[in-house]
Structure 1
Amino acid sequence: MVSVMLAGLATAAVLPAEAQDAPIETLFRNVRVFDGQSDHLSAPTNVAIKGNVITAIGPTAKAGSGATVIDGRGRTLMPGLIDVHVHMTFSALSQADLLESSLTPQSAEAAAAVQAKAMLLRGFTAVRDMGGPIFGLKAGIDAGKYQGPRIWPSGAVISQTSGHGDFRLPNERSRRFFGKPARAEELGATFIADGRDEVLTATRENLRFGASQIKLMAGGGSSSDYDPIDVTQYLPEELSAAVAAAEDWGTYVAVHAYTPRAVQRALEAGVKSIEHGQLLDEATMEMIADRGAWLSLQNLPPPLASDAPDRVEKKMMVREGSDKAWAMARQYHVKLAWGTDFLFRPQENDQQNAYILKLKQWFMPAEILKQVTHDNAQLLALSGLRAPYQGKLGVVEVGALADLILVNGDPIANLDLIADPARNFAAVMKDGRFYKQEGK
């Protein structure tokens, strides 16, 4: 597994031949811009791009004689969509797939690559991967082997024994006592780490392979077998060890947690991003706001008919808490980020855009668009120098990276346009290059 990861890292350092050519120039002419922050579109204007950067915006903005010119015809140019809670590998495979003895890191990567391309064509130009085998896929995308979004990788999730990331099968025994890593550990899905020293090592291993942030499991989960949803995971000193190691590398720790006790313990340890939080009370939500931490919240899909009864009960508890959590987060002015957290159901991945519309019960369309572009980009920026791509995302402004979508219509007036990217996204650009272009 280590050799596979190192090979992926080596590939990422080699630029494709076209990257060494003269910068590509593009001019979007006669477009109305959603800049990522405003509550209205601009007047008709032009947007010029050189290489991967927006160089000019305005009615007189021009590009060189060899530039590709796109006639916007008054349509909307907006930032690429950002999903800050994905699992690129776990969402590409079912649980049955993951249990197959024939599954290898290479076959898992190939399945994830197919879904990564589809995600990019849906307009998602950047994502934060919150746990699982990812470094090979990310290296392949960066090197041009695959098509997909920019990825902020966490690497293997870090979990205590019996925690939300303890994916061992019933016949797999503890590595500490019996010396053999679990299959999920060998696949790069998880580190089962107990005690300060093991948490430090697991954190540093992920940083060594290029993690842009660290993901710990700090509470029970709805998709795991061993941990009730109410339990608190990791002792304060274990959480603090991960936070210190991440901060030494200029980045931060995010934790999976639903309950007040788990979230409060994580915040006291210095955790900067709470993933989920659907079961929080007002005091804890206020604590998140006071600490300036992020709440990365989702609307989870309903359980499957095939799910075990205990999983159905846990998933319904989380789903029922969503409405209260979104409303409280808005009330206390918490830094809010949006993500999907799809797991083990690849047949549902094409609903990713439609899940943005679920925010309409709490926010206006312009607020939603801001959340899935500008605001989510602010959370990505929390990785600092550990961010794998330096530059400004989530906005359409001079100097920003050219991750853009051309929309057939006005998504502020009709947010539903976002939910049908095949019909309504005329162009998708990432890093100044078209991956979808009208007529091609």
Structure 2
Amino acid sequence: MPPANHPAPQLAHSAHSLQSLNHAQGACCCGSPLLQRFHDRMMAEISRRHFLGGTAAVMALFAGVRAPEAIGARPRGQDGPLLLTHLRLFDGSGTPLRENVAIRVEDGRIQAILPGDAEAEGAELIDCGGRVLMPGLIDAHWHTTLAGITQVAAMTADAGYVHLLAASEAERTLMRGVTSVRDVGGPAFALKRAIDEGIVAGPRIFPAGAMISQTSGHGDFRLRHEVPRGATTPLSEQERQGVAAIADGEAEVLRRTREQLMLGATQIKLMAGGGVASTYDPLDSTQFTERELRAAVEAAEDWGTYAMVHVYTPRGIQRALRAGVRSIEHGQLADEESVRMMAGEGAWWSLQPFLQDEDSNVYPDAARREAQRQVAEGTVRAYEMAQRFDVKTAWGTDILFNPQNTPNQLRHLAKLTRFYDPLTVLAMATGRNAELLSLSGPRNPYPGTLGRIEPGALADLLVVDGDPSQNLDFLADPERHLRLIMKGGRLHKDSL
């Protein structure tokens, strides 16, 4: 297998032969019919293939047995404490940098914040040379299995290759300094387990599991010939494999929500409106009744966690908020009344910089281009209103089916300096996003403080060449400018 930080030969060949196709990220396209065909193929094969180099590796992923060697680069081991000295500190709060600080790390956590020239006292010393130390970044809208593969490759590659590619992309995600992600739909449970057990390297994953959708909703990937569904019709392949769950009526929504909680979902994802790339559900459609949404919200609350919704329009946003939803994903078409309601309810607005720019999809038809234009214009208004009405705002990317764009993940963050000062942007991608993750309460698989540098917090840390108090230009080249990457006290990169 090629090194984890290089594209596989098959992928390179596919990219070369399909260079005329633009698979760039833009507004959410998880309603694409190609998504269905991808999962039909991938998940149908996964049930009958061993794909990690043999039975031992497969058992390591799915039966809890550690494989003899992990996939990808292993982090550098430490048997004792570390002391990072002579650094400037961004602590994740958005306040100005602190000068000449040292950080002591022990047992995967930050033990103390000390003067910059503190004595090692038994710790391994790493001199940061006056560089900036900051918390690991958090992407609040990420599709772990779907980000790093093209639609065509997903449709034609072996299932094992698809999953190995997802694991490889997870390592690249970590090496971009993204140490935690909130997965907002798809079968990410196995990859999360493999990362947590040290079989592969990758970020902490907060999985939502299957996207819950009404019939004809944004998560209904069936083709026309599969409709209507009879009382005894079997579930579609994407439903059986946990990509999406179609539910109509309060009882079905309740059942599907409870199933995701049983599988380990840290939060619940529902589709409450249409999308730009959708084949069936138009952008302006409103999905699920308030009673149906409330059934999912109450089930999540009974488990100490929350529900989020994919939605763009004021009507859908307001319906979701009345039902008790805690996080609005996208929402670029919100009006002032909707934004005031978000602020009043204390809900989160999980926004992505969909700006119809070089990172956006290119659509062949005028109708979708017009919908994309509406979302792009709405994005500018959304960031302005989020600040004016003091709505709790999260950052995410929603990169989907786009290996060409995943290396630019941090560019999506740097774009936000158009709307905020650089330290506020970094605070959004660290401490603020961590507050959103904490809504999962007792379902949080990583107990401890994320996104902040303070005593007792989990030691997810980056040392960077750059001055975030001035700009975020260093994010454009993480390979060069991220000099140290630590997750849970383990060094995944140290070029100091």
TM over 0.5: yes
SS in 2 for 1:289: helix
Distance 1:361 1:306, change over 3 A: closer
Residue 423 of structure 2 corresponds to residue 366 of structure 1: yes
SS in 2 for 1:69: strand
Distance 1:13 1:220, change over 3 A: farther
- Write out per-residue CA displacement over residues 27-75 of structure 1, whole angstroms, 9 at most, x where no aligned residue: 111111101114321111211100210001111645553x332111100
Distance 1:197 1:367, change over 3 A: same
The letter of the residue matching 2:397 is T
In structure 1, the partner of 2:277 is 223
From 153, 178, 184, the equivalent of 2:207 is 153
The letter of the residue matching 2:280 is Y
Q: How much is the aligned-residue C-alpha RMSD, in angstroms?
A: 2.6
- Write out per-residue CA displacement over residues 275-326 of structure 1, whole angstroms, 9 at most, x where no aligned residue: 0110000011000000000000001264434554433332222112100011
In structure 2, the partner of 1:336 is 393
Q: How does 1:87-102 map to 2 (within 5 A)?
A: 87-100=143-156
Offset, 1:192: 1.1
SS in 2 for 1:427: strand
Distance 1:273 1:6 in 2: 36
Distance 2:374 2:383 in 1: 15
Q: Is the 8 A contact 1:48 1:62 kept in 2?
A: no
Distance 1:216 1:429 in 2: 33
Distance 2:362 2:425 in 1: 31
Distance 1:155 1:430 in 2: 24
In structure 1, the partner of 2:106 is 50
TM superposition score normalised by structure 2: 0.82
Distance 1:274 1:304, change over 3 A: closer
In structure 2, the partner of 1:389 is 446
- Write out per-residue CA displacement over residues 49-108 of structure 1, whole angstroms, 9 at most, x where no aligned residue: 00210001111645553x3321111000000011100011121222334444x653x443
In structure 1, the partner of 2:235 is 181
Distance 1:174 1:130, change over 3 A: farther
Distance 2:165 2:105 in 1: 33
Distance 2:295 2:79 in 1: 44
Distance 1:7 1:146 in 2: 11
TM superposition score normalised by structure 1: 0.92
Q: How does 1:108-147 map to 2 (within 5 A)?
A: 108-147=162-201
In structure 2, the partner of 1:351 is 408
SS in 1 for 2:147: coil
Q: Is the 8 A contact 1:109 1:136 kept in 2?
A: no
SS in 1 for 2:225: coil
Distance 1:158 1:103 in 2: 27
Distance 1:11 1:325 in 2: 44
Distance 1:312 1:11, change over 3 A: farther
Distance 1:70 1:273 in 2: 40
In structure 2, the partner of 1:167 is 221
From 203, 214, 235, the equivalent of 2:257 is 203
- Write out per-residue CA displacement over residues 234-273 of structure 1, whole angstroms, 9 at most, x where no aligned residue: 0111101000100000000000011110010000000000
Q: How does 1:302-317 map to 2 (within 5 A)?
A: 302=356, 303-305=360-362, 307-317=364-374
SS in 2 for 1:194: coil
In structure 1, the partner of 2:6 is none
Residue 321 of structure 2 corresponds to residue 267 of structure 1: yes
Distance 1:145 1:317 in 2: 43
Offset, 1:13: 10
SS in 1 for 2:317: helix
